[in-house]
Chains A and B, each alone.
Chain A
């Protein structure tokens, strides 16, 4: 019958055509990375999206960088002195070349930092270095920074991709670096097909001899995480960044791939709008903090891939107090009920949890929280919105409570100040607490480690007790790699820097 012949023919052609011929197998020293989001631009001083930062990781260097243990180590600056707490002197490496061939000097550091500080650039990195009043070129390889006030987090801030050192002539020739490469990094931009793929090639003049081992790195944008996993399995991809818990679980069962997983610096929090009833009453917030079960939420929303945390990411072991040493370590329903009754809500109340179905929007977390809150008579309604609307509500502080994913940091001031200071730039909780402010101001200027640790210990306890949000957990940073990849390491902030030391065996 004509119809069935036609249908069968189509099916046959489909199978043959789709199965035959793969994406041409790349040369042996190429690493293909699968990501689910395209980079919006690649100007290090302008970009905010994580997807963009991952490209900048490989094309640029900073004065200093974070290693796999989140410690500050030299990058372009070979060493540095801090003669007094308002002055930093950096000694640059000699013979570092930009990708256009010119040698990097102190003037480039001066230019880059000035560009970041310039209000016209509107750089997100500005807040990390805003206390710098002047940048002096002492000689060809020495730079001196002057601060208006002590800033203990300066070095950590300078490790940010947003503080990369760029070539002035490339910026001036192109207006900005959104589409071009003005860096010194281990890899150089060769080709960029928007929403599709970006090809980087080895920098033959990279200042560290012998690396990178790879000749080429290709970023491929594949929005479906299932397809990302399929790609690593089939060998079309060598590395894929996957954050969907279910797919990671699947990947762990696959013999053809390896799952690398490490608690990251991102933090899942349950945020309160402290200007709205009933969350203006600290007892109500504490009641919620007493009933939310971190382990349960982690197990269900992230398939257990993460670690419960306090105000500082738990993997930043230098500063972070573990959950056991903070108030409300374990759920206590009786205590929660008592707090609610004291606050005047013995029969609970009803409110909304704003969330989104994107990964950051934490819909699964909201669902578990909703369930747990029922135990103390609180009726939470989920307000699930599109990501753009979510951001809009966040900006306008138009929410009761929200599930958020915050980018934490291993350096306490860098994360805590902007988030919890009464005039902090990302304090969307509208939280104002004089004691918290005092401790934040104190910690940022102290340079003696023991004193600083004492301040931040006190601050962490206070923050959990005052609960502008409930600190839930740090999800793991996951990379799915093929068995052929060697030498790659995960850095807690997601940086792909270790691709510099990665090899692919064939």
Chain B
């Protein structure tokens, strides 16, 4: 297992290299630049001032040269300064990461809390009418755009309950109540949508498993129904769900941009959004690299959990 993990960690290098190339050049394809945003439509500068401004904003050299310079900086651990604020980029990102991570984790928990039981009950087929309702709700959850649901929630809670966005992020360890106050609503907005995905996977997987011979054997052995379901069926059915959760965790983290903006959360996603609006290249590049790293690590984690849950799987043996 150790060698396998080491190999996967090494794969981070080519991945990040490729991501850095893509983000650096792609982001400069968008019309507009940080310097232009700074000047806006109100500011005039002499040609001499423009030269100085171009130097300050890093636009005085050809793009490939700038790329090489930037890579050199990164390898020395220097992620550069924000064009917008002049502050070093990395501390700002790190300080906002916990909120986005917690939001993602909370959303996953909520979606599991809703989706798993729904999926299981649905698969047992006790009440076909309720099953239909579940499936419709599931379809709605999949189809309703997250941002729409989120905006609706903001309007409803703002308009009727006088809710306004909270100020600073307070870690769960410091003050659980205030922490949840900030994150529960947005996490639910994401969670409701994703719970539909969980529900479907759980339901389909359970249905398949319940047909298996070993379930019939268990029933024949006279095991109580609950034991059959929970100990035998679920443990096997859960595998595709783990895969889905793992592969989507990265997507949920980066998708939190929209939710963070709608709920005005001081998270990494919102930082990325404003960085893009302002063409704050160093900040955008750093955030994308960090998200890419998290993606790779989460995928690795998923594979490891998978192997731990299912003893039949041997990671380093490939497709044997």
A: which residues have CB within 8 A of B? 1-3, 6-7, 10, 13-14, 17-21, 23, 38, 40-41, 48-49, 119-120, 122, 124, 126-127, 176, 178-179, 193-197, 220-224, 226-227, 230-231, 233-234, 236-237, 386-389, 391-395, 404, 406-407, 418, 424-426, 428
**Contact check: which of A10, A124, A176, A236 meets B86 at CB < 8 Å?**
A176
Known: A21-B181, A231-B164. 20 other contacts (CB 8 A): A6-B113, A17-B181, A48-B43, A122-B52, A122-B53, A124-B44, A193-B167, A193-B266, A195-B271, A196-B167, A196-B168, A197-B167, A224-B165, A226-B159, A227-B158, A227-B163, A388-B30, A391-B40, A392-B31, A407-B42
Question: Which B residues, 146 to 164, have Cβ-Cβ distances below 8 Å to chain A?
Answer: 154-155, 157-159, 161-164
List the B side residues contacting A120 at CB < 8 Å: 52
B: which residues have CB within 8 A of A? 30-33, 36-46, 48-49, 52-53, 56, 84-87, 92, 110, 113-114, 117-118, 121, 130, 134, 154-155, 157-159, 161-168, 177-178, 180-181, 184-185, 188, 261-262, 264, 266, 270-271, 274, 277-279
Q: A3-B118, A18-B181, A48-B38 are in contact. Are A220 and B167 (CB under 8 A)?
A: yes
List the A side residues contacting B130 at CB < 8 Å: 1
- Most chain-A CB neighbours within 10 Å: which of B33, B46, B164? B164
**Contact check: which of A18, A193, A395 meets B168 at CB < 8 Å?**
A193
A388's nearest neighbour on chain B, judged by CB, is B32
B121's nearest neighbour on chain A, judged by CB, is A3
Tell me the minimal C-beta distance from A173 to chain B in angstroms.
15
A48–B117 contact, CB under 8 A? Answer: no
List the A side residues contacting B84 at CB < 8 Å: 40-41
A230–B159 contact, CB under 8 A? Answer: yes
B85–A119 contact, CB under 8 A? Answer: no
A218's nearest neighbour on chain B, judged by CB, is B167
A6–B85 contact, CB under 8 A? Answer: no
Q: A1-B121, A120-B52, A122-B45 are in contact. Are A230 and B31 (CB under 8 A)?
A: no
B92–A18 contact, CB under 8 A? Answer: no
Q: A10-B114, A195-B271, A226-B158 are in contact. Are A18 and B185 (CB under 8 A)?
A: yes
Closest 7 CB pairs between A and B?
A425-B44, A388-B32, A392-B32, A392-B31, A234-B162, A124-B43, A231-B164
Tell me the minimal C-beta distance from B276 to chain A in angstroms.
8
Tell me the minimal C-beta distance from B200 to chain A in angstroms.
14
**Contact check: which of A18, A122, A179, A391 meets B163 at CB < 8 Å?**
A18
CA distance A463 to B246 in the complex (A): 64
B151's nearest neighbour on chain A, judged by CB, is A224
CA distance A236 to B158 in the complex (A): 13
B52–A179 contact, CB under 8 A? Answer: no
- Most chain-A CB neighbours within 10 Å: which of B41, B159, B162, B262? B41
A389–B31 contact, CB under 8 A? Answer: yes
CA distance A490 to B92 in the complex (A): 35
List the A side residues contacting B46 at CB < 8 Å: 119, 126
Tell me the minimal C-beta distance from B194 to chain A in angstroms.
14
CA distance A391 to B167 in the complex (A): 31
List the A side residues contacting B164 at CB < 8 Å: 23, 222, 227, 230-231, 234, 236-237
CA distance A23 to B264 in the complex (A): 15
A10–B188 contact, CB under 8 A? Answer: yes
List the B side residues contacting A389 at CB < 8 Å: 30-32
B32–A119 contact, CB under 8 A? Answer: no
B41–A391 contact, CB under 8 A? Answer: yes
- Most chain-A CB neighbours within 10 Å: which of B86, B130, B134? B86
B261's nearest neighbour on chain A, judged by CB, is A223
What are 23 residue pairs bridging A and B, where the CB atoms are less than 8 Å apart in the complex?
A: A1-B130, A2-B117, A3-B117, A18-B157, A41-B84, A48-B43, A49-B40, A119-B46, A119-B49, A124-B42, A126-B45, A126-B49, A194-B92, A196-B266, A224-B262, A226-B155, A230-B162, A234-B162, A388-B36, A391-B36, A392-B36, A395-B39, A406-B41
Q: A18-B184, A227-B165 are in contact. Are A48 and B42 (CB under 8 A)?
A: yes
CA distance A223 to B31 in the complex (A): 24
CA distance A290 to B53 in the complex (A): 41
List the B side residues contacting A194 at CB < 8 Å: 85, 87, 92
**Contact check: which of B52, B113, B158 meets A119 at CB < 8 Å?**
B52
Tell me the minimal C-beta distance from A47 to chain B in angstroms.
9
List the A side residues contacting B33 at CB < 8 Å: 392
B165–A424 contact, CB under 8 A? Answer: no
B184–A388 contact, CB under 8 A? Answer: no
List the A side residues contacting B161 at CB < 8 Å: 18-19
CA distance A230 to B155 in the complex (A): 10
